[in-house]
Amino acid sequence: MKALRKIGITTALMILFTVCNGFVTSTLQAQVIRYTNPVWAPAYFPGVRYYYLPDIEAYYDLSNQDFVYLDNGQWMFSYGLPSIYAGFDLFGAFVVALDLDVFQPWMHHQFYVSNYPRFYYRSVYKDAELANIRGFNENGEKTFSFTQEDRARMDQLRKSANKETRTESSRPAQKSNYYGTNIGQHVRVLPQMRENRQENQGQRRR
């Protein structure tokens, strides 16, 4: 009798856990905000709010539909890229979809510029892979791949894209947020940064 009672309690707890887990999951899914994906971006991942463009060290905020870039020590916001990036091809650019939990990633720029330096993907991926890779999604740690349809669509959009971009400011500039106490100070030379003196001395003796 006691054994049956234990089995009944265990079964009831398992059912309750399953129901609660399903409720929490569905609630979280319902809370995910979907933003309008710009036409130049890779396939949208539900909930992504920010893209990082490593080749120009700039961000795109899907919630405000504006670009965020550093200019004269401040983060600037505009609906289009400034003239300095006039030749930058958004339709073929490598794009990083940032973690769903991050807020204002440009205020933590040192992490992104370190983890995703300019053109880093050219060294990380093989040439054969690189031809089909459009970007990287931090949510799931997977790359975005070009499909034949995507490539054709991007080519068409690139041809019909409006050359006049909205470069007016979309919101007030924001000061950069620098961390640490060594900003502007002498960089300490570590052993791996030094010239191999022993090797050079051996070469001189020859």
Summarised one tens digit per residue, pLDDT across range 4-47 is 565 555 555 555 555 445 443 333 444 789 999 999 999 999 99
The amino acid at residue 38 is P
Q: What is the pTM of this model?
A: 0.72
When pLDDT is cut at 50, 70 and 90, the band that residue 161 belongs to is low
Q: Which residues of 59-92 are buried (b: 16+ CB within 10 A; e: fewer)?
A: bbbbeeebbbbbeeeebbbbebbeeebeeeebbe
pLDDT at 174: 74
Separation of alpha carbons 37 and 48, rounded Å: 9
> pLDDT tens across 59-81, in order?
999 999 999 999 998 999 999 99
Across 15-19, 99-103, 152-156, least confident range = 15-19
pLDDT at 146: 80
